[in-house]
């Protein structure tokens, strides 16, 4: 008889900042699934995002502590904007080393907690945010709620249960920027994912060691609503997400025990050519105080072709359950595409996973050029070095093809 194992653990990570002012603790959590041959680890963190190079440091630390190879580990950031990793905020080298040790110990604790488990997966409708891209009267994309824009209006939920039917872990995933507290308070906290975890604890009958994990989806163009709404609004959003998660657990279907499967690839995505040197100089004349145009001019003058590393990873439990993880900040249309085309019965899609540095928009957005707005135009992407140009419009087709091939390979393996 085939047996699946599951183990989970959590730990606060607020100590990444010395003497931080907090409205809620930041947490890292881990769920490890295992069969007789493989161990797969899903790590979630209340953090903005990890650069690609630092995510590799974390994966190596986890491998050193547990023996689990990096290809069998995904690290998903909630992308909360009240934590390091966004808006130019980062942590010290000492905190980098501490966090690597912390996450390695976390996954080791989850491995040590492995026990026979039954998995159940479900989905429930919920929407706590709006698409944030809308065209103004002049034909430029601006950031404001767009009721007609793309969203991912559901929560995907996985419950892992022990031999007595008690909860080992609940993993729930939704796509929305955690920005409901953002800048309404400078204190650190997890935003709506943290509130959702606390409300979910009240809904469920949990044992002390049960772990509740939130994983962020493809939320590049979705803001939690209302933007900067404050603590009360964040509490309401967290409650709605927790309630939907609870409903999904009630109707979840059992995942048959089956071999664990893994497939991953590293794709290189081409960046778009910058505006011409003459165009950049004209922009600098029009906006002399905007340093981003100066940086864009430097890119244009270098005349160097660049590509973006784009890691993709997928885990599966037989043919019934799949976790697709993509790096960077993808528009929600990519998650909707996977939902429509995945060959698996249940498919979770995680963004901000195993490194995130840029937005990845759609062809329709990139085709707007300088009118493409914050996420898809070159203006916002000029500051932080070579990875801040917009990507080629062709990357949408490339990503769709690569994801389709990856999931097909995983299904057939």
- pLDDT tens for residues 245-281? 999 999 999 999 999 999 999 999 998 877 788 988 8
Mean of the pLDDT values across residues 130-141? 96
Residue 351, SS3 per DSSP: coil
Answer whether residue 385 shows pLDDT above 50.
no
**Mean confidence (pLDDT) of the chain:** 94
Element (H, E) at 100: helix 93-112
d(CA 336, CA 146): 17
pTM for the whole structure: 0.94
The pLDDT of residue 301: 85
pLDDT higher than threshold 80 for residue 69: yes
Q: According to the model, what pLDDT value does residue 350 have?
A: 98
pLDDT at 91 over 50: yes
Residue 379: predicted pLDDT: 52
Mean pLDDT of 129-140: 96
pLDDT above 80 (res 310): yes
274-285: pLDDT as tens digits: 778 898 888 888
Closest-CA residue to 355 (of 81, 85, 42): 85
Cα distances (Å, whole numbers) of residue 328 to 77, 366, 399: 10, 16, 12
Among candidate residues 71, 207, 212, the one with its CA nearest the CA of residue 155? 212
Mean pLDDT lowest among 10-19, 346-355, 395-404: 10-19
| Strand ranges for 175-320 from DSSP E | 211-216, 222-224, 253-255, 260-270, 307-317
Query: What burial letters (b/e) apply to 140-176, b meaning 16+ CB within 10 Å?
Result: ebeeeebeebbbbebbbbbbbbbeeeebbbbbbbbbb
Closest to 329 in 3D by CA, of 100, 69, 52, 83: 52
**What pLDDT digit, counting tens, does each position of 25-58 carry?**
999 999 999 999 999 999 999 999 999 999 999 9
């Amino acid at each position: 008889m085939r047996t699946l194992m599951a183990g989970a653990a959590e730990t606060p990570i607020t100590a990444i900042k010395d003497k931080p002012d907090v409205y809620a603790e930041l947490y890292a959590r881990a769920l490890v699934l295992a069969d007789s041959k493989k161990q797969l680890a899903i790590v979630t963190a209340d953090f903005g995002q990890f650069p690609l190079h630092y995510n590799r440091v974390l994966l190596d630390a986890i491998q050193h502590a547990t023996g689990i190879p990096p290809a069998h580990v995904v690290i998903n950031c909630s992308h909360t904007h009240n934590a390091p990793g966004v808006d130019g905020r980062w942590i010290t080298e000492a905190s980098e080393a501490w966090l690597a040790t912390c996450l390695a110990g976390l996954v080791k604790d989850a491995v040590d907690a492995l026990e026979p488990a039954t998995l159940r997966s479900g989905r429930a409708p919920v929407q706590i945010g709006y698409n944030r891209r809308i065209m103004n009267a002049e034909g430029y994309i601006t950031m404001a709620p767009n009721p007609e824009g793309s969203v991912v209006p559901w929560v995907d939920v996985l419950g892992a249960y022990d031999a007595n039917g008690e909860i080992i872990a609940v993993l729930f995933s939704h796509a929305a920027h955690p920005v409901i507290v953002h800048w309404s308070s400078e204190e650190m906290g997890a935003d709506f994912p943290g509130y959702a975890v606390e409300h979910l604890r009240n809904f469920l009958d949990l044992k002390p060691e049960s772990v509740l994990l939130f994983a962020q989806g493809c939320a590049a163009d979705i803001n939690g609503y209302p933007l900067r709404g404050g603590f009360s609004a964040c509490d309401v959003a967290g409650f709605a997400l927790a309630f939907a998660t609870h409903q999904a657990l009630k109707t979840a279907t059992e995942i048959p025990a089956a071999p664990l499967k893994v497939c991953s690839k590293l794709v290189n995505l081409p960046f778009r050519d910058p505006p011409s040197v003459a165009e950049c100089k004209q922009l600098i004349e029009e906006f002399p105080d905007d340093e981003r145009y100066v940086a864009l001019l430097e890119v244009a003058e270098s005349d160097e072709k660049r590509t973006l590393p784009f890691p993709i990873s997928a885990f599966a439990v037989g043919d019934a359950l799949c976790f697709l993880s993509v790096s960077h900040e993808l528009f929600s249309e990519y998650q909707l595409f996977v939902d429509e085309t995945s060959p698996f019965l249940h498919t979770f899609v995680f963004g901000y996973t195993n490194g995130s540095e840029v937005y990845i928009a759609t062809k329709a957005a990139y085709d707007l050029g300088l009118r493409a707005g914050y996420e898809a135009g070159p203006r916002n992407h000029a500051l932080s070095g070579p990875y801040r140009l917009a990507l080629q419009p062709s990357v949408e087709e490339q990503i769709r093809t690569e994801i389709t091939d990856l999931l097909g390979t995983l299904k057939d393996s």
